[in-house]
Amino acid sequence: MYLRTTSSSGSHSYFHKKKPHPRHSQEWGFFIKCMLPTTDQTRCNRLLGMETRACSGCVLGDRICLRRVDGGEAVSTLTFKQRIEHECVVESAITPTLYKAAVSFVEDSGRWEPNYELGHNVKRFWETQQPHSFRELACFRQESGELWQAKPENSQVNLQKSAQRLGQALGRPVEKSEVRGLLRIHPEHSVFRKYETPVGAGSKPYLPPVTAGIWRQVARRYGVDCPAEVTLAALVGLGGDDAVAPGFWDWVAANPEISILFTEGGKKVLAALSLGYAAIGFYGFRAYQAHDPILKTKIAPRLMPEVQRFIQPGRRAYAYIAFDQDEKAETRQNVEQGRAVFAGLLTTAGCDVRLVLWDGSLGKGIDDFIAAQGANAFEQLIDQARPSVQHERARQRAWARQKRANDHQAWLGQVATLAGLPEDADRMAIAKAFRDRARLSGTVEMGHFPKLTLPAAGDRQLIVLDGSKMTRKTSVGLRSVVEEGQQRGWCGVIFAPTRQLATNLAYELDMLTIDQYLALPPENRPANVWLTACPESAHKLWSISVNFVGFDEANECIPRLQSGELGNHPELARQAIKELVSNADVVVLAQDSIYRPTIAAAQRWGSFDSTQVKVLRRQRPKTEMEIALYLDHADDGEAWDGTAWELATKANNAFYTWFMGIENAVSSGQTVIIPSGSEGKARTIHRVLRGLHPDRKGHPIDGKYTPHQVRAEFAKNPTPFASNHDLAWLPISPAFNSGISIEGTYFDQQFEYARAFETASSISQRGERNRDAIRGEKIKRRNVYIASRGLATMPDPAVFATDYWRSLLAGDPNTDAINLAQQMGCAEIASRLGQASADDWLDLPEFLAIQAQETYFKVEFLHMEWENNGWEIKEMICDPKAAETWSQAFYEATQDLIVQKGRTLAKAKGKKQAGDEPAGAIEATKHHKWELQQKLGDYPGLNHPEWIESWVIDSRTSGLFELRVRSLVCIAHEQPTLWAEIARQHALNAIARAGQHDTADLPCTAREFAIAQLLKGAPGVYSVIKGQLTDWTNKDLIIAQAAAWAREHSVSLAAASSSHQRIHGLQFTSKTPLIKCFHKLLQMVGIDGVSNGKITTGDGTRVLQYRLVKAIDIEAKIAAKLADNCDRTHSLQRQRKRIETDSEVFNALDQVLKQRVRDLTPSWDVITVKVIEKDGMSRTSVGIRSLTEVLDDPDLQASVQDIKGLIHLAQESGAKAFHHLRQIIKPLYPDLWRAALVTSA
């Protein structure tokens, strides 16, 4: 392999002078005939010691053009070692002694020494599959002697970058497998690897060996004492300044006065060390971040341990970052982002970071800059290093983050005290204390539950099955009870949380559901029946006497009984279950990690003493599983990489990174199961995947929109469902959080989505429905995303205590009903209401406190459970480009779903559903339309999709509920009689249910009425509603009064809120700004306030002015988004639609509501009469004396018979007497008066 050339002087050389090639510029003035393969152009460069390039105008590209040198001659006969030495010492300004200490050479003598040095696998029969020949390596060594990086004499082709360059040139994607072939045709697109790193060594910083002279130079620069042995070695002549002195980097780490300069590349480190700067190098500007070897994504951002030891808190010196100044704009932008990431990590660790920036034309790296500009110029560059604008803002955010951290630590101390721990306890310790308090303690046996044995005749028993998933609570424990009970001729019922899960349980245990049983003709119903039911259907069991009652997933069933969240007949269902439990011989509670209050409630209802309670606890054997945890750190309020605030992406990169795993799995042909805590999110994910993979199938399973037949098929036998339908992905919603088991190994991967307001138990239950996610036969990793957006960062610590929830429930909603029942003379019902309200929610405060604990400490609860299972947990970090890649697809899918739902609901015909639950999606839509018609009558907007989207579908906005509350507040102020009638109907509803009477419809929901009952007394709210208060400032007296009122009634407002808002805790605290309190109150009636800027008052004070949001405000926002080339304006357009139609929608709601109250009044009058006739107590004396007694003693109870007698006497005396009687009696006893009139007529 040679060049056939002759020098002009006649001496031996490699080439001779030729005329310039016509296609080349003046700089490229000569060409030669090259006998090397065209792909070895870089080897030509090394042999000739100069820059060359292939000539595109030459036949087959076999000529190499040379850069002109002085005198027209190109001379180079340097060896590889000489060229490396020249490159380091001359071109990078590295001290020769340091160069010799840090750089060594490994030459290939025919035994592949360079390959072994790099850790490459040299196969035994390498003659047939020859490894790449590096010829010789220039090795940059660590202080420990390990190889950090090597520069080869004969470089390898970088297949990936060459493929990119070829793809750009050819205009098509190029696979790696065809790169080598194409490079033979297009050698000009070859890209070579400049450096090699040891295989499997990972990303490590460069900490080279230093000489004693360099050590003492660094010590002098920072005024730090040099170790005695280093000084002594120089004095006694033990190698002098040129000797390598070990322990330099330990000395740097131990002296925080020493500033550290971080750069990229080995030569730059050595160049800075040569000037006395303690420099540490990386492979590249992102090389400090580790990667997950399986998902190929970055793990949680943190400094690698090798760097962390230099960044102790309290390091008083600067940390300089001096990355390369590249020419390409794209590379420069990437470097800036990587620098910002690193600066953020260093700032978080407590460093005072300085960025070293210079003009790239003065040198790309710091070694180029030092060689070209000199040591003095570099020292000036270091002195001029200042925080950049971005970094200064990052520092400000770091300060804010530190303040939040301090606030959070103080908050955590309060929670720790509440948990009975020291104030400095961490989150994990607090979560453990909460868990131990809520759950059972004692010995847990490893293995499965045995068959259960029923007690002897006449004995009663409460059996608790507390076992983790796959311990056969149902398949062995409950089944054995059913089989023995059937042999004894018993009757039994087992409750599951939902109707679908009850259906699945009936299929598994070969039982009937309650609906199947009631559908049979009475003569065909079995005498000894065993049924499954959901708690909502318990009232259908009044006619059945059972010996056995079971609760599968008892932690879900019993709290729902106490909270009243049970379909259309919560009181009847609760009373029926309490009767069943009290009369049963055996009660079984089955649950993974059962709560203590769950057992306490069942024990109290069934009157079981402690000797009758039997607890069995089981734990399944540990398995191998890895948890990839994606956490949405939404509360940070900043980008993951520390970029500037206005540049920080506000999208949920953690979620989109998690979704990328799903997309990669589906794209590679794998099957994926997606347990989701949100029906809407499951549907959106399905729609996005369907758009990306139209050739593959998926099917979301939820309790609302999935067709009834499909849902029933899945619930009945979930294991073969996916394979039967050939599904590539299967999202499962919260409707199947428990009660089903998917066996087998159909799915390749599992990705779990958890909502912010879910508890740890709910997430765990749903995630382990697929049993392979426990066993780990095929699925080796569970990818879990946990959202936190919307969840308060630091709620009032009281929400974790039972007393807080007891205070919320103490304002019993039955109070009005009890008072009215007493007025009606129904003392027994009043007593029953009082006793029921106390017993029904006796354990509910504990349940709610546990839910709050598991919601806010869900990550810690899950960590404890997973670690107990023996699983490895790895917290992942988001890909910074994930949101950019996927957010638009999700946005479009979300908008498509909203449009589809709006169009479907607009076309639907309203029809009330027959049972407690809709039979399917169509029936649910018809029922939803019927509900809207009950509220709005024949309002035209109900048939327009755009109106439906704006007011009903878009979940992120307030809608009809708030306007109904606004209407009730207006009624309370403007029509007190009508308001009293609404209050009477709600109280009568509770009375009638307590007395087991039929009831009529209500004009509004209990929650709407409760909130309006509170807000009618809120200062300023009614004034804003009526337009009497059009603008206000943060200093107005009415604002302070409203805030004081809100704080005073904060517990009642929280109690009237929905469940997830209750978990938020007290929404109006002393820390809540006054103006925010007022605006929160306005939002509860569907009114939004907006800042109108600052104004100057009469005394010269500058205050913030506020007013109602107008359509023009929304139009300005839309215009601003469009100006920024952002087309995501759908929600704003819907908000504008709501503002434009607010008045007419309110008027329609208001008119229908008032008319509905009047229409329902006769029905409630009839109910009043029936209740009084059955449960009221009549007075024996009727006459004027009775009237006098009532007036003289208001506490004396009257009856409808008393009032009827008075009316009869008054009518006999004439119209004037009747009018006088009405003026006296009606205000005192309005309900008795109305009932008496109805019955008299």
Give 388-413 as a DSSP string.
-HHHHHHHHHHHHHHHHHHHHHHHHH
Strands 1031-1033 and 626-631: unpaired
To which H or E segment does residue 618 belong? Answer: strand 613-619
Question: Which residue bears the tokens 């300023």?
Answer: 1020
Q: Which residue has the higher pLDDT, 159 or 666?
A: 666
pLDDT of 267-280, one tens digit each?
A: 999 999 999 999 99
Helix, strand, coil fractions of the chain, as percent rounded to 5:
50, 10, 35
- pLDDT (0 to 100) of residue 1226: 67
- pLDDT (0 to 100) of residue 834: 62
Distance CA 41, CA 34 (A): 9
Question: Which residue bears the tokens 């959106």?
Answer: 684
Q: What is the pTM of this model?
A: 0.67
Per DSSP, helices labelled H in 419-498 are: 427-438, 479-488
Contacts with 404 (C-beta within 8 Å, 6 or more apart), sequence order: 635, 793
- pLDDT (0 to 100) of residue 43: 42
Give me the phi and psi of 242, to 5 degrees please.
Answer: -85, -10
- pLDDT (0 to 100) of residue 334: 80
Q: Does 462 score more than 70 pLDDT? A: yes
pLDDT above 70 as % of the chain:
80
36-50, 741-755, 779-793, 1106-1120: least confident range:
36-50
Give residue 1216's pLDDT band: very low, low, confident or very high (50, 70, 90). Answer: low
Distance CA 1197, CA 825 (A): 6
Contacts with 718 (C-beta within 8 Å, 6 or more apart), sequence order: 504, 736, 740, 741, 742, 769
Residue range 24-38: mean pLDDT, rounded: 37
Tell me which of 3.40.50.300, 1.20.120.850, 3.30.70.1230, 3.30.70.380 is the CATH number of domain 445-619. Answer: 3.40.50.300
DSSP string, 246-263: TTHHHHHHH-TTS-EEEE
Distance CA 57, CA 41 (A): 16
Cα angle for residues 1172, 1176, 1177 (degrees, 5° grid): 145
Q: Which residue has the higher pLDDT, 1148 or 956?
A: 1148
Counts of helices then strands in the chain (DSSP H, E): 50, 27
Q: Does 688 score more than 90 pLDDT? A: yes
Q: Which residue has the higher pLDDT, 483 or 236?
A: 483
Residue range 959-967: mean pLDDT, rounded: 93
Distance CA 805, CA 801 (A): 7
- pLDDT (0 to 100) of residue 1097: 83
To which H or E segment does residue 1235 belong? Answer: helix 1230-1240
- pLDDT (0 to 100) of residue 644: 31
Q: Which residue has the higher pLDDT, 866 or 327?
A: 866
Instruction: Reduce the DSSP state of residue 726 to 3 states and report it.
Output: coil
To which H or E segment does residue 164 belong? Answer: helix 159-170
Distance CA 240, CA 211 (A): 9
Cβ 54 vs Cβ 40: under 8 Å:
no
Give residue 1228's pLDDT band: very low, low, confident or very high (50, 70, 90). Answer: low
Q: Which of 55-59, 237-241, 297-301, 1102-1106 has the highest mean pLDDT?
A: 1102-1106
Q: Which residue has the higher pLDDT, 300 or 1195?
A: 300
Residue range 577-597: mean pLDDT, rounded: 93
- pLDDT (0 to 100) of residue 390: 55
Long-range contacts, stretch 977-980, CB < 8 angstroms, 24+ apart: 978/1154, 978/1157, 978/1158, 980/1230
DSSP string, 924-949: HHHHHHHHHHHHHTT-GGGG-HHHHI
Question: Which residue bears the tokens 């139209």?
Answer: 694
Distance CA 879, CA 296 (A): 10
Distance CA 749, CA 672 (A): 5
- pLDDT (0 to 100) of residue 432: 95
Tokens of 466: 């507390």
pLDDT above 90 as % of the chain:
44
Tokens of 815: 């109070």
- pLDDT (0 to 100) of residue 1015: 94
Give residue 13's pLDDT band: very low, low, confident or very high (50, 70, 90). Answer: very low
Strands 672-675 and 729-732: parallel
Across the beta sheet with 278-282, the strand order is 278-282, 260-264, 318-321, 352-355
Contacts with 1099 (C-beta within 8 Å, 6 or more apart), sequence order: none
- pLDDT (0 to 100) of residue 939: 94
Across the beta sheet with 1031-1033, the strand order is 1031-1033, 1102-1108, 1089-1096
Q: Hey, what amino acid is at 1132?
A: L
- pLDDT (0 to 100) of residue 854: 92
Distance CA 354, CA 490 (A): 80
Number of other CB atoms surrounding residue 159 within 10 Å: 17
Cβ 988 vs Cβ 824: under 8 Å:
no
Answer positive or negative: Cα dihedral of 770, 771, 775, 777.
negative
State the maximum Cα–Cα separation within the chain, in Å, rounded to a whole number.
Answer: 149
Cβ 94 vs Cβ 274: under 8 Å:
yes
- pLDDT (0 to 100) of residue 965: 95
Residue range 508-520: mean pLDDT, rounded: 90
Residue range 339-347: mean pLDDT, rounded: 80
- pLDDT (0 to 100) of residue 1207: 72
Cβ 311 vs Cβ 346: under 8 Å:
yes
Number of other CB atoms surrounding residue 1088 within 10 Å: 15
The domain limits of the chain are 1-77, 445-619, 626-793+859-885, 956-1171, 1178-1240
Distances (CA, A) of 787 to 404, 674, 1233: 20, 15, 56
1130-1175 and 976-994 are packed helices; what angle lies between their axes, rounded to 10 degrees?
60
Cβ 385 vs Cβ 339: under 8 Å:
no
Tokens of 738: 């428990």
Look over the chain and give the mean of its residue pLDDT values, rounded to a whole number: 81
Instruction: Reduce the DSSP state of residue 978 to 3 states and report it.
Output: helix
Cβ 68 vs Cβ 30: under 8 Å:
yes
Q: Which residue has the higher pLDDT, 1052 or 1225?
A: 1052
Question: Which residue bears the tokens 């506490």?
Answer: 1195
Q: Does 1025 score more than 60 pLDDT? A: yes
- Give me the architecture of the 626-793+859-885 domain, per CATH: 3-Layer(aba) Sandwich (3.40)
Number of other CB atoms surrounding residue 665 within 10 Å: 21
The length of the chain in residues reads 1241
pLDDT of 1170-1198, one tens digit each?
A: 888 777 754 333 333 333 333 333 344 55
Give residue 699's pLDDT band: very low, low, confident or very high (50, 70, 90). Answer: very high
Q: Does 569 score more than 80 pLDDT? A: no
Give me the phi and psi of 463, to 5 degrees please.
Answer: -105, 130
Give me the phi and psi of 897, to 5 degrees please.
Answer: -65, -40
- pLDDT (0 to 100) of residue 1071: 79
What would you report as the CA-atom Rg of the chain, rounded to the nearest whole angstrom? 40
325-329, 392-396, 605-609, 805-809: least confident range:
392-396
In 458-584, the DSSP E strands lie at 461-467, 492-495, 512-513, 530-533, 548-552
- pLDDT (0 to 100) of residue 207: 94
Question: Which residue bears the tokens 């819907």?
Answer: 1134
Give residue 339's pLDDT band: very low, low, confident or very high (50, 70, 90). Answer: confident
Distance CA 1131, CA 956 (A): 8
Q: Does 264 score more than 80 pLDDT? A: yes
Give residue 40's pLDDT band: very low, low, confident or very high (50, 70, 90). Answer: very low
- pLDDT (0 to 100) of residue 353: 84
Cβ 221 vs Cβ 140: under 8 Å:
no
Class of residue 123 by CB neighbours under 10 A (exposed 0-12, middle 13-18, buried 19+): exposed
Q: Does 673 score more than 70 pLDDT? A: yes
Cβ 1072 vs Cβ 1026: under 8 Å:
no
Cα angle for residues 1084, 1085, 1088 (degrees, 5° grid): 85
Cα angle for residues 513, 517, 520 (degrees, 5° grid): 145
254-268, 405-419, 1057-1071, 1163-1177: least confident range:
1057-1071
Residue range 603-619: mean pLDDT, rounded: 93
Q: Hey, what amino acid is at 307?
A: V
Distance CA 581, CA 588 (A): 10
pLDDT of 1040-1096, one tens digit each?
A: 999 999 988 887 887 776 554 445 545 787 878 899 999 999 999 999 999 998 888
Distance CA 1103, CA 884 (A): 40
Distance CA 1100, CA 1103 (A): 9
Give me the phi and psi of 496, to 5 degrees please.
Answer: -120, 160
- pLDDT (0 to 100) of residue 1182: 32
